[in-house]
Every structure is written in structure tokens, then in C-alpha cells.
Amino acid sequence: MTDFQKQIENLTRQNNELFSKDFLLTWEKNKKDLNYILELAQLLKDFRDNNISTKMFDSGLAVSIFRDQSTRTRFSFASAANLLGLEVQDMDESKSQIAHGETVRETANMISFLTDVIGIRDDIFLGEGNKYMREVGEALDDGFQQEVLPQRPGIVNLQCDMDHPTQSLADLLHLKNHFGSLENLKGKKIAMTWAYSPSYGKPLSVPQGIISLMTRFGMDVSLAYPEGYNLIPELEQQAASFAKQNNTKFEINNSMDEAFQDADIVYPKSWAPFSVMQQRTLLLQNKDAEGLKALEKSCLVQNANFTNWECDEEKMKLTKNGEALYMHCLPADITDVSCKQGEVSEKVFEKYRIDTYKEAGYKPYIIAAMMMSNRFDDPGETLGKLFEKDKKRVFL
């Protein structure tokens, strides 16, 4: 029996509890479900690496709704859909009837007649992004129950105001492969720290996703930020609760150096303070352009007080043997490369640049696994049939 067959059989023996369920927040899923996504994503990657086609849809749409700018996640969603055989249709709200009063309920149904999956990115408005995804889900439930839709499309959270599940799970799969197994992650320390950026308004969802996920998988998490740059308070409390439940450590401090001390992994990333995101949301909702300009100006002045929050060679020396793994969701603000002063020095980033690219490379497979587990009751059985068919993706 080949390794492929063993992996497929192992997946087939597990119940797919994600079937027909939206993937909105990692903390809504148990660890068994999350591990299922990791295993399925790895299998899909292995299939493609071995030139075996995973096209399991003959037709159908994967609709993407991006309410914020995106490169990696946008192309990862398109790549994932194509990997499974779905065609991608990007919904450009500026070209839709939304501006003319079309409701969320109507939009959700109108785009879903031949759609299998909807991916949504809505991370700008604090308190609204995840709420919007659930509103779309309720509209789809109604459309399916009323027999308007022949099937109820699944929803994948491509980033919201609370969580970025495709990113954090891609990060976890990267860590699993880098350190050899999930078991080997237990006791490892990850420093999730704020870092200086010459911009403002960056979402809170990446650090919130990291502290909420890694504390559940046996890792000690040190969250560090300048005073006043806290995340959503309830999600910081949730991470502390997860750490207690899983016998791991979760700490919050106001020192980047302290967080880096003896860390196995560092994740320096800028974000806007929770209070600023609250103000920004209100200003955006009120379309207060002057207020937004004033807020940005004051925030940039405040950020400038913490330019020393940079991941440089001296700070990396504080980590475990001076060789911690550097991680970033990208794009990073690189000092003297993409900006005058930023989150990470050029030397540190260049040393780990390929690692960060590999980290990003897991996201298409994570998204594809979320899609497949939603649409197929037994993904293992489906992959088994594709393995036996052995259709080449490319005729070499």
C-alpha cells in the first residue's frame, strides 16, 4: 500500500463533520475538525505535487466577494476553486445592483443558482464583517428551504473583523511541516507581536486568529503590543481560556524584547488598536472623509512613537538559539525596501523570505480543503476514486 493510499484510508475512517457547514471562525470548530482540514489540505497538495488531477466538479461556480484589497487570498481562492474544477466569478459590488438598493438577501440568492461555494472577505468594519457573512448564510438557508436554490452554497471566511481562518490554518500547516508534526509543536513558544508600520487601519484578525488557534494546539503564546494597542478584549480573554483548557501558556506584555525571549517562532505584524478600529468603523459608516483623514494623521503620529518595534537582527538574537522561525502573512513592511522604516529589517526578511513564501503557499490548499469538506460527505472516498483513476493534471 502506498503512502497515498494510507493517507486516503486514514481520512476515510474519519467522520467529516464539516459537511454542509460554513467555515467562519476556527474557534467554532473542534480540534478534530481543524486537523481534518490540515490532513485534507496536505493530501490535495500531495496530489498536485504528484501530477494527479483533483478536478471533482464538472461545472459550477465559486463566487468571491472581496470588500477589501487582496492579493494572496484572492488568488488562493481562485487557485483552490480551479484545483477542484470550479469556475471563479468575482463579485464586484460596484458593478452590481447593490448601489441601487439590492438587499443582502436578494444578492445572496441571485448569485447562487449554480454556485457551490462563496468566499467572503469583509475585514474593514469592526463588528460587521462576520455579521455580514452570517446574514448571507441566513439568506442562503431561506433560498434553499424555499426551493429557490437547487443547493445551499457553503461559505468560507476569507478574512473578517474577528478571524482570518484560511491564514491561521495555513500558518499551522506550515508549522506542522516545518517542525515535523503537530505533536512537535507542543511547548513551542510563538511571539505574536505588534510591529511598527508607516500606515494605519490594518485589521486585527490575523493576530486574533493566531492567538486563538495556537493556544489550542499546545503552543505557548506571547502576545505583545505597545500600551493601548490591544485586540478585541473578548478574544484576548478567549485565548487565555483556550490556553488554560489545553495546558499551554498565554501572556500579554508591552515589550517586544520580552516576547522574543527564547521564542521558537516570531510573528511581528502591525495592526490598528481596537479603539482606533472602533472610531474608524463609525467614520466609515458615516462616510466622514475629513474625520478619517484626521484619525489617520493622529494614528500615524502615535505609531511613530514605537519605531523601535522592529524585527531586526538584535531582536532575533533574543530568540531560541537566535534562530527562531520568522513568520508573516505578507506583505511585510520591510525597512529600506518597501518603506523607510517598517515591521522587519531587510536582512531578517531576506533570510526568511523563502520560508514566508512557502507559508503563503499552503493557503490555496487550506481553502480547497474547506470547499471540499463542505461539498463532499466523504472527501477521502472521493480522493480514493481520483487516485485510482490516476488522471494526469499535466501530460508531461
Residue 364 banded pLDDT, cuts 50, 70, 90: very high
Nearest to 158 by CA among 391, 375, 363: 363
As a residue count, the chain comes to: 396
The pLDDT of residue 94:
72
CATH class given for the domain over 167-360: alpha beta
Which residues, in sequence order, are CB contacts of 244 under 8 Å at separation 6+? none
Residue 100 banded pLDDT, cuts 50, 70, 90: low
C-alpha cell at 10: 486514514
CATH of domain 3-163+363-389: 3.40.50.1370
C-alpha cell at 16: 467529516
**Mean per-residue pLDDT for 206-225?**
98
Percent of the chain predicted with pLDDT > 90: 92
Q: Residue 92: pLDDT above 60?
A: yes
The pLDDT of residue 68:
86
**Mean per-residue pLDDT for 356-376?**
98
Q: Which residue has the cell 487557485?
A: 79
Structural contact between residues 370 and 37, judged by C-beta atoms closer than 8 angstroms: yes
Q: What is the DSSP letter of 86?
A: P
Buried b / exposed e across 75-100, counting CB within 10 Å, b at 16+? ebbbbbbebbbbebeebeeeeeeeee
**Mean per-residue pLDDT for 103-111?**
94
The pLDDT of residue 1:
55
Residue 99 banded pLDDT, cuts 50, 70, 90: low
Which residues, in sequence order, are CB contacts of 344 under 8 Å at separation 6+? 195, 268, 310, 311, 312, 326, 328, 332, 333, 334, 335
Q: Residue 328: pLDDT above 60?
A: yes
Q: Which residue has the cell 483556550?
A: 242
The pLDDT of residue 93:
78
Q: Residue 396: pLDDT above 80?
A: no
The values of phi and psi at residue 5, to 5°, are -60, -40
CA-only gyration radius of the chain, Å:
21
Q: Angle at the Cα of 286 (from 280 to 290), degrees rounded to 5?
A: 70
The pLDDT of residue 2:
76
For the chain, what is the mean pLDDT?
A: 96
Structural contact between residues 316 and 257, judged by C-beta atoms closer than 8 angstroms: no
Sign of the CA dihedral with 360 first, then 111, 154, and 165 last:
positive
The domain ranges of the chain are 3-163+363-389, 167-360
Q: Which residue has the cell 454542509?
A: 20
Range with lowest mean pLDDT among 25-29, 41-45, 88-92: 88-92
The pLDDT of residue 200:
86
Q: Residue 96: pLDDT above 60?
A: yes
Q: Residue 97: pLDDT above 90?
A: no
Structural contact between residues 70 and 355, judged by C-beta atoms closer than 8 angstroms: no
Q: Residue 116: pLDDT above 80?
A: yes
Rounded CA-CA distance 396/393 in Å is 9
Cα–Cα distances in angstroms (integers) from residue 121 to residues 24, 133, 173, in the given order: 11, 9, 21
Instruction: List the strands of the sheet with 87-91, edge to edge.
Output: 87-91, 61-66, 115-122, 154-160
Residue 73 banded pLDDT, cuts 50, 70, 90: very high
C-alpha cell at 128: 460587521
The pLDDT of residue 395:
86
The pLDDT of residue 167:
98
Buried b / exposed e across 303-338, counting CB within 10 Å, b at 16+? beebeebbbeeebbebbbeeebbbbbbeebbbbeee
Cα–Cα distances in angstroms (integers) from residue 347 to residues 198, 261, 332, 350, in the given order: 19, 20, 13, 5
Q: Angle at the Cα of 326 (from 324 to 331), degrees rounded to 5?
A: 175
Strands 61-66 and 87-91: parallel
Q: Which residue has the cell 503563503?
A: 360
